Structure 1
Amino acid sequence: MASEHPSSTASDLDPVRMIADARRALFTMVGVLAAIWLIQLVNWMDDYDLGRRFGVIPQDVTRLPNIVTAPFLHWNWAHLEANSGPLFVFGFLAAYRGVKKFLGLTLLLALTSELTAWVFDPPHTVGAGASGVVFGYFGYVVLRGIIDRNLIDTLVGVVLGASYAYMVTSALPGVAPGISWAAHLGGLIGGLAGAWIFRNRAPRPAAVPGARTASRAGSTARPTTKVTAKPTATDPNSPNAALLKELDDLGL
C-alpha cells in the first residue's frame, strides 16, 4: 500500500544529487573557515583590537549591534583552532540541505547566542567566538530530521547527538569557568528553533490514486471469481493479435 506521507523521497537517495549537495556544503564551509581565519590574521596583526572593538560587552546597549560580529572573532589562535573542527563538521551537515537555509540559520544563531550572552554574561567583560554558533549547528542537525520526517537526516542526528552529547554540559552555568555558558545555551536553543523555522515546506508526494480506496474496499468486499477470456484475433488489445489472425486465416 502506498504511503500518504513518506518520510523520505527517492531524490534524497539519488547519488548525483547527494554528491552535488555535499560538494556545495563543502565549498560553503571552506569559504566560511577561510574568512574566519583571514579575520583572525587581521585581528592578530592588530593586537586583537578587532575583538575589543567588535566583541559583545554584556548589558552595554552601545555594543548590542556587535552580536552579529562577535561570533567571527577569536582571542587567540588556540581559541580559533578549538572551534574550527566542530564548526566545519557541524556546519557542513547544516549546509548539506541548502546554502540559503544555512545562511539564514547562521544569522539566527549569531543573534540567539550573542544576545543570550549579552543578557547573562558578567558585565565589563568582552565576549567573542564561534562556539555559540557551533552549538546551534549541533542542535539544528540533531532535530532537523525528526521535524522534516527524513530518515537519513534523523539517523545522522541520532549519531551526532549520541557522539557529542557531552558538549551540552558546557551550556550549564558554572560547569566551564571562563567560557560563556550563556552563548552556548543561546546557540543551542537557536539551533533547535531553527530546525522548525527552516523546516522543509515542500509539499509531500500524494498517494497513488486509488491505493487507499482499494485497500479499504478490500477489507469488506466479498471475494469474487476471477474470469479470464480467451483472446481473439479481433481483440486489438491482445499482444498476440497478429499471430491469432494468421492462425484464423489458416483455419486453425
Structure 2
Amino acid sequence: MAPNSRSSLTRSASRTGKQVTRSLKTQVTMLGTAMGAFWVTFVLNTMLGGALNQFGVIPRTTVGLRGILFAPFLHGNLNHLIANTLPFLALGWMVMLRDARHFVPVTLFSMLGAGLMAWTLGAPGSVHIGASGVVFGYLGFLLLAGVYTRSFWSIVLSLVTAGLWGGLVLGIAPGQAGISWQAHLGGFIGGILAARRYR
C-alpha cells in the first residue's frame, strides 16, 4: 500500500473514532441529565412528603393538564423509580442508536400521548405519575421504526427490541391496580406516531 493511502486510512479512522466518541458523549449526557432530573426530583419529593405528586396528571381537570409535562419526573416510591430507570436507559439509548436527533422529539411525542390518554381515560380523582409512559413511547417507536423506514438496520433494531422488550406491550392493557395502563397506551401510541413522523 502506498504511503499516501496509509495516511488517508489513518486520518479516516481517526475521524471515525472522534465521531463515535462525540456521539457516545452526547448519548451519556442526554440520558444522564434525564436520570439526574428523575432522581433529584424523587429526593426532593420524598423530603416534602410527596407534595409534588399534585403536579401529576389529574384526569379531566384543567390543572391536571400540567402533568403532561411534570408527571414523567415524579415517582411514588423508590421501587417505582428503579423499575422505570432501567428500561428508560436501555430503550432511550436504543432510540439514540437509531438517530440521536430523534431522542428529544420522540420523548415529547411519548409524554404528550401518555399525558393526554391518562387525562382522558383515567379514573376521576386519580393522579398519574411516572416515566413509564415515556418508556412505552420508546418501545412503540423502536418496534415500528423498522416497518416505516424499511431500512436494514432499523428492521434489525426493531427485531432486537421485540426480542428483548416485547413483553412490555402487555402493559398497555388494563390489569394491575395502581398501574397507569392509560399512560402506557398513550405513550405507546405517541411513539408509533413519532416513528411514522420520522420515517
> TM-score, structure 2 length as denominator?
0.85
Unmatched segments (≥5 aa) in structure 1: 1-13, 200-252
Give 2:158's aligned residue. 157
Measure, in 2, the Cα distance between the counterparts of 1:85 and 1:193.
24
Query: Which of 18, 35, 38 is equivalent to 2:37?
Result: 35
In the alignment, is the contact (CA less than 8 A) between 2:88 and 2:135 conserved in 1? yes
Distance 1:18 1:158, change over 3 A: farther
What CA deviation, in whole Å up to 9, does each residue of 1:212-238 have, x standing for no partner?
xxxxxxxxxxxxxxxxxxxxxxxxxxx
| Deviation, structure 1 residue 43 | 0.9
Measure, in 2, the Cα distance between the counterparts of 1:62 and 1:24.
35
Measure, in 2, the Cα distance between the counterparts of 1:114 and 1:39.
18
Work out the percentage of aligned pairs sharing the same amino acid: 35
Measure, in 1, the Cα distance between the counterparts of 2:150 and 2:133.
26
Measure, in 2, the Cα distance between the counterparts of 1:179 and 1:132.
11
Q: Secondary structure at the match of 2:75?
A: coil
- AA of the residue aligned to 1:49: A
Q: Secondary structure at the match of 1:124?
A: coil
Measure, in 2, the Cα distance between the counterparts of 1:32 and 1:128.
16
Give 2:138's aligned residue. 137
In the alignment, is the contact (CA less than 8 A) between 1:83 and 1:131 conserved in 2? yes
| Deviation, structure 1 residue 44 | 1.0
Measure, in 2, the Cα distance between the counterparts of 1:139 and 1:56.
21
What CA deviation, in whole Å up to 9, does each residue of 1:20-40 have, x standing for no partner?
434422221111101111111
Give 1:50's aligned residue. 52
Distance 1:152 1:21, change over 3 A: farther
| Deviation, structure 1 residue 135 | 0.4
| Deviation, structure 1 residue 101 | 2.1
| Deviation, structure 1 residue 177 | 2.0
Measure, in 1, the Cα distance between the counterparts of 2:38 and 2:97.
20
Give 1:146's aligned residue. 147
**Which range moved further: 89-98 or 73-82?**
89-98
**Which range moved further: 143-152 or 107-116?**
143-152
- AA of the residue aligned to 2:131: A
| Deviation, structure 1 residue 73 | 0.7
Higher helix proportion = 2
Give 2:86's aligned residue. 85
Between structure 1 and structure 2, the one with the greater Rg is 1
Give 1:7's aligned residue. none
> TM-score, structure 1 length as denominator?
0.68
Give 1:71's aligned residue. 72
Measure, in 2, the Cα distance between the counterparts of 1:89 and 1:194.
18
Measure, in 1, the Cα distance between the counterparts of 2:164 and 2:93.
16
Unmatched segments (≥5 aa) in structure 2: 1-14
- AA of the residue aligned to 2:71: A
Give 2:8's aligned residue. none
In the alignment, is the contact (CA less than 8 A) between 1:22 and 1:96 conserved in 2? no
Matches within 5 A, 1:162-181: 162-173=163-174, 175-181=175-181
| Deviation, structure 1 residue 96 | 2.8
| Deviation, structure 1 residue 98 | 4.1
Give 2:127's aligned residue. 126
- AA of the residue aligned to 1:45: M
RMSD over equivalenced CA pairs, Å: 1.8
Give 2:189's aligned residue. 189
The total of aligned residue pairs comes to 184
In the alignment, is the contact (CA less than 8 A) between 1:28 and 1:95 conserved in 2? no
